Structure 1
Amino acid sequence: MNDELVPLSELRQAIDIALSESMNDVSLHRFLASRAKTMHRSIGFADGDQVELLQQFVHRYIQQVPEVLDHFHKISVAAGVEDELEAFLNIAIDYFLQPLEITASHRGLLKIMDAAYLTHRLIEEVNDRFLSNAGVSISPIDNTEDNVVMHFLIGETLANELDLAVHYSVEMLISQDALFSKHSLMLYVDAQKYNQNNAQENETSKTENSVHLALQR
């Protein structure tokens, strides 16, 4: 795999076009307004117009995808597992460029929301495998809470189907014995654990990169 993910430029362009076209999308505004009225009580809003806050959240959530994929790619190269994880990166990009049939009922930004959710969930699932098997994270952000919000926005039925698609992809493509016993990954994990034990990691960048509403528990 090359040092740079060439399809990311195409992905960024598709996202920029979708976001630009959504600015005056009345149907999207109505959709978010209907969702705002039924948000679960565990999800709180900061002060301000709820629909506007949801729209800002959706835009940031989507815009973050190329950067997350690029970082994921660079981490996989540093850990020497880019060949093993390349399939996940290709799947994530295809979510946007070749959407799944189960999202066919959505158009415009709603379809992009589906693709972004699939990508963020895919990264979350792969990262969970690394945390449980190697004890280190390879994701640049903790997107769990953001995914909960997007799950609600997309709708329970479709979001559950998308979750199953992600789970199936991870199960099919990750061979834990082969991946987590790879020497280069073991060296990377040891280095990460050494750094964590000997220096407080700067959490500022992770905090700045998170894109969540004022989630309240």
Structure 2
Amino acid sequence: MTPQAVLEIIDHARRKEARSGTFLKQLHDKAASLPSAIHFEGDGRPAACLFQFAIEYIEMAPRLIECVDTCAREAGTAQLFDPFVKAAIGYFTRPSALLLHYAGLDGLLIRAYLCHRLMEEMHENNHSIRSGGLVDIEATRANLLVHELIGEPFANELDDSITVTVLQIAGTPDYYELNLNPFVEQVNNDTWDWMRRYWENLLVRNHIRFSLGSGRA
């Protein structure tokens, strides 16, 4: 399976949502229960802002997978990154039995969250990547918002599953010490620039803001 297969899964779910409106209705309820640190600016309706944010967040997942895969291959480090790429694609193409209960865009939001959190943890578990500054603060805030949309305790269980996956892939101290500067250098070229710009504007573009100094934000 490839990132293109993930895009096709997302496209199918979007067509289904266009007929049912189920996910948008869910977001109406979610918008009312979000923490006070999350604000909606302008005249945009909170549910509509959240809906477009979620669509973009979901569609970002296969593009992130493809970007990591491309950069790893061009840097000659594909073997090290293949387990992360395969795990991320698998969230969409081979979901666990638990995720099969979530079949629409709500399910894809969960799968995208797993993908983005996996890549975030990959970033944290190697000193070369971590010091490379590849993960923008806005990407972290986007993950926090999705954590809230999924809701606890389920979102916490998903985070725990990510921890287990990362330990399985990169659970030894040797992985943290690996010199992955060739990957970091490759990522810091044009292949990654468009994605960094996308993340930087994701929340603003959808009229969503985190209050400064507000705990987790």
TM-score scaled by structure 1? Answer: 0.81
Written as runs of structure 1 = structure 2, the 5 A alignment for 1:90-169 is 90-131=86-127, 135-138=131-134, 142-169=138-165
Distance (Å, rounded) in 2 between the aligned partners of 1:100 and 1:116: 14
More displaced stretch, 170-179 vs 204-213: 204-213
More displaced stretch, 204-213 vs 117-126: 204-213
CA contact (8 A) 2:30 2:149 kept: yes
CA contact (8 A) 2:129 2:181 kept: no
Aligned match for 1:208, one of 176, 198, 212: 198
Unaligned runs of 5+ in 2: 213-217
Aligned match for 1:17, one of 12, 32, 36: 12
Percent identity among equivalent residues? 26
Listed one character per residue, the Cα deviations across residues 6-39 of structure 1 (whole Å, up to 9, x for unaligned) are 6111111111111222124333222101100111
Q: Of the two, which has the highest radius of gyration?
A: 1
Distance (Å, rounded) in 2 between the aligned partners of 1:145 and 1:88: 22
Listed one character per residue, the Cα deviations across residues 87-121 of structure 1 (whole Å, up to 9, x for unaligned) are 11111111011112232432211111110000000
Q: 1:134 to 1:114 in 2, by over 3 A?
A: closer
TM-score scaled by structure 2? Answer: 0.81
Distance (Å, rounded) in 1 between the aligned partners of 2:22 and 2:39: 24
Instruction: Find out whether 1:68 has 2:64 as its counterpart.
Output: yes
CA contact (8 A) 2:14 2:105 kept: yes
More displaced stretch, 203-212 vs 17-26: 203-212
Letter in 1 for 2:21: V
CA contact (8 A) 2:117 2:143 kept: yes
CA contact (8 A) 1:69 1:89 kept: yes
CA contact (8 A) 1:122 1:166 kept: yes
Aligned match of 1:173: 169
Letter in 1 for 2:169: L
Aligned match of 2:215: none
CA contact (8 A) 2:91 2:114 kept: yes
Cα drift, residue 42 of structure 1: 0.8
Q: 1:54 to 1:131 in 2, by over 3 A?
A: farther
CA contact (8 A) 2:10 2:108 kept: yes
Distance (Å, rounded) in 2 between the aligned partners of 1:90 and 1:13: 17
Q: 1:160 to 1:132 in 2, by over 3 A?
A: farther
Unaligned runs of 5+ in 1: 1-5, 196-201
Instruction: Find out whether 1:43 has 2:38 as its counterpart.
Output: yes
CA contact (8 A) 1:92 1:119 kept: yes
Distance (Å, rounded) in 2 between the aligned partners of 1:68 and 1:138: 12
Distance (Å, rounded) in 2 between the aligned partners of 1:70 and 1:187: 17
Q: 1:99 to 1:42 in 2, by over 3 A?
A: same
CA contact (8 A) 1:114 1:154 kept: yes
